[in-house]
């Protein structure tokens, strides 16, 4: 065990090619202006493995470094401290070619925060009870895959960044009036494939997201499945299973395509026919409603959208349309889902064990769906 004196960083690495493994580090300083951390890395080609960091501000702070590996590190922040006064699990500052793999992070400000950090890989991590599980700011050409982000204000947030790829991640049980599975704001050419957005306030949120690809994801049991603003343009959204959300989608003014090469999305609320049996329903589907459009501008109103009165108003509007709204329209909705759809998932269970079981069930069924998709459409998956 390496125990600090409550000031500064517990360990500071300035030697190129150094390794640190197999230690418990605790009791670091708490000065955000000095970026106190369990481990502060200021040299290239450093390896951190099999560490436990506790009672520290930032877990790992990477300062202008390259070709660093952070693997198998367990980080627990100061849960008694207000979230905005905590540090990040792993903080990337002007750092490139970093691999963060199989880390377990909780009770921090942001699980992993990237500032001007390009060409990184984040793989197989668990992040819970944070502000944003993963947060990119002005960071480009990054990839994150096979991670799980839960119980936070947002599972992940991609802001002011280009060419970010997200595959096979689970964004689940990020709950609240203004909570998100994945939030994109001012992004270009983001690729989202084979992810699961389950049980969030908003599953997937796009604002200023341009020329992205949203394909073959599961968006299920969220309050709002998919939320787009008019600034989300040029996106291709197809092959997704949008299932049993309280409201499937909102924000139809966005200039994005929901039908790509004759393939749209599966909407569980669409009961249209597929008379010719080609796998595509015979009429377009529009999942939007005036109530969800109003709540898009006033998120606090979401508290009332599950009320009996709101349910009656939604039914009345579908039956006798009065309002003219620019709703999401899928011109070639799928008759069956292209990705695995789990059975109805109950609201987040209070017991941690029950939550883990629900995640395991959703992940296994999602994986099964990808295998079916792979067999049905060889060569389409990465």
Q: What digits encode the pLDDT tens for the residues 34-67?
A: 999 999 999 999 999 999 999 999 999 999 999 9
For residue 381, pLDDT over 80 is answered with no
Q: Is residue 293 part of a domain?
A: yes
- The total number of structural domains in the chain stands at 2
Banded pLDDT at 359 (limits 50, 70, 90) = very low
- Is residue 227 assigned to a domain? yes
- Looking at residue 286, its pLDDT comes to 84
Per-residue model confidence (pLDDT) at position 287: 78
pLDDT of residue 327: 66
Domain that holds residue 326: 156-382
The C-alpha atoms of residue 333 and residue 274 are separated, in whole angstroms, by: 10
pLDDT of amino acid 217: 97
Q: Are residue 126 and residue 203 in the same domain, yes or no?
A: no
Sheet (strand 154-162) strand order:
11-13, 37-41, 58-63, 90-93, 110-115, 132-137, 154-162, 180-188, 202-210, 224-228, 247-250
Residues 209 and 351 in one domain: yes
Q: For residue 374, what are the contacts with CB-CB under 8 A and spacing of at least 6?
A: 380, 381
Residue 150 lies in a domain: no
The domain boundary, picked from 145, 166, 187, lies at 145
- Same domain, yes or no: 308 and 224: yes
Domain boundary among 110, 145, 180: 145
Residues 70 and 124 in one domain: yes
Residue 289's pLDDT is: 61
Mean pLDDT, all residues of the chain:
85
- Residue 145 has which token pair? 């895959």
Query: What pLDDT is recorded for position 237?
Result: 96
**pLDDT for the residue numbered 255:** 81
Enumerate the β-bridge partners of residue 170.
Answer: 148, 196
Q: Is 108 part of any domain?
A: yes
Residues 132 and 179 in one domain: no
pLDDT-based confidence at 305, cuts 50/70/90?
low
pTM over 0.85: no
Q: Which residue, 145, 165, 193, sits at the end of a domain?
A: 145
Domain contains 263: yes
* The predicted structure's pLDDT at residue 369: 46
> Worst-scoring range by mean pLDDT, 204-213, 217-226, 271-280, 356-365?
356-365
Higher pLDDT, 308 or 310: 308
pLDDT at 319 over 70: no
pLDDT for res 55: 96
Quote the Cα angle for 203-209-212, to 5°: 85
In a domain, 72, yes or no: yes
Q: What is the pLDDT of residue 314?
A: 55
pLDDT band at 382 (very low <50, low <70, confident <90, very high): very low
Q: Per DSSP, what are the bridge partners of residue 47?
A: 19, 69
User: Looking at the structure, do residues 202 and 351 belong to the same domain, yes or no?
Assistant: yes
pLDDT number for residue 250: 87
Residues 335 and 217 in one domain: yes
Residues 169 and 128 in one domain: no
% the chain with pLDDT above 70: 77
Do 68 and 194 lie in one domain? The reply is: no
Residue 89 and residue 195 in one domain? no
Residue 297 scores a pLDDT above 70: no
- State pLDDT tens for residues 134-166: 999 999 999 999 999 999 999 999 999 999 999
Please indicate, yes or no, whether residues 170 and 275 belong to a single structural domain of this protein.
Answer: yes
- 178 shares a domain with 136: no
């Amino acid at each position: 065990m390496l125990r600090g004196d409550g000031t500064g960083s517990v360990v500071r690495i300035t030697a190129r090619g150094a390794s640190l493994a197999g230690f418990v580090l605790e009791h670091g300083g708490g000065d955000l202006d000095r970026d106190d951390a369990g481990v502060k890395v200021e040299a290239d080609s450093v390896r951190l493995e099999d560490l436990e960091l506790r009672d520290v501000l930032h877990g790992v702070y990477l300062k202008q470094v390259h070709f660093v590996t952070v693997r198998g590190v367990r980080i627990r922040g100061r849960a008694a401290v207000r979230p905005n006064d905590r540090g990040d699990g792993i903080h990337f500052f002007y750092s490139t070619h970093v691999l963060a793999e199989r880390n377990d992070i909780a009770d921090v400000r942001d699980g992993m925060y990237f500032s001007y950090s390009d060409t990184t890989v984040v793989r197989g991590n668990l992040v819970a009870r944070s502000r944003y599980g993963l947060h990119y700011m002005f960071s480009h050409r990054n990839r994150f895959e096979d991670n799980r982000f839960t119980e936070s204000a947002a599972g992940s947030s991609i802001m002011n960044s280009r060419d970010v790829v997200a595959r096979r991640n689970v964004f689940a049980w990020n709950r609240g009036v203004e909570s998100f599975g994945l939030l994109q704001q001012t992004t270009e050419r983001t690729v989202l494939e084979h992810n699961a957005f389950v049980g969030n306030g908003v599953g997937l949120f796009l604002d200023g997201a341009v020329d992205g690809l949203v394909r073959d994801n599961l968006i299920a049991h969220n309050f709002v499945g998919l939320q787009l603003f008019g600034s989300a343009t040029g996106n291709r959204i197809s092959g997704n299973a949008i299932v049993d959300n309280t409201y499937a989608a909102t924000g139809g003014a966005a200039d994005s395509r929901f039908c790509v090469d004759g393939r749209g999305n599966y909407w569980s609320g669409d009961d249209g026919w597929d008379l010719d049996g080609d796998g595509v329903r015979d009429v377009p589907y529009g999942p939007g409603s005036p109530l969800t459009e109003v709540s898009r501008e006033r998120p606090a109103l979401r508290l009332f959208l599950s009320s009996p009165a709101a349910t009656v108003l939604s039914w009345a509007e579908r039956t006798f349309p009065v309002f003219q709204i620019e709703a999401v329209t899928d011109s070639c909705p799928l008759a069956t889902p292209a990705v695995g759809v789990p059975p109805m998932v109950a609201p987040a269970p209070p017991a941690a064990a029950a939550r883990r079981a629900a995640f395991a069930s959703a992940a296994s069924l999602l994986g099964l769906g990808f295998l079916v998709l792979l067999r049905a459409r060889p060569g389409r998956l990465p």
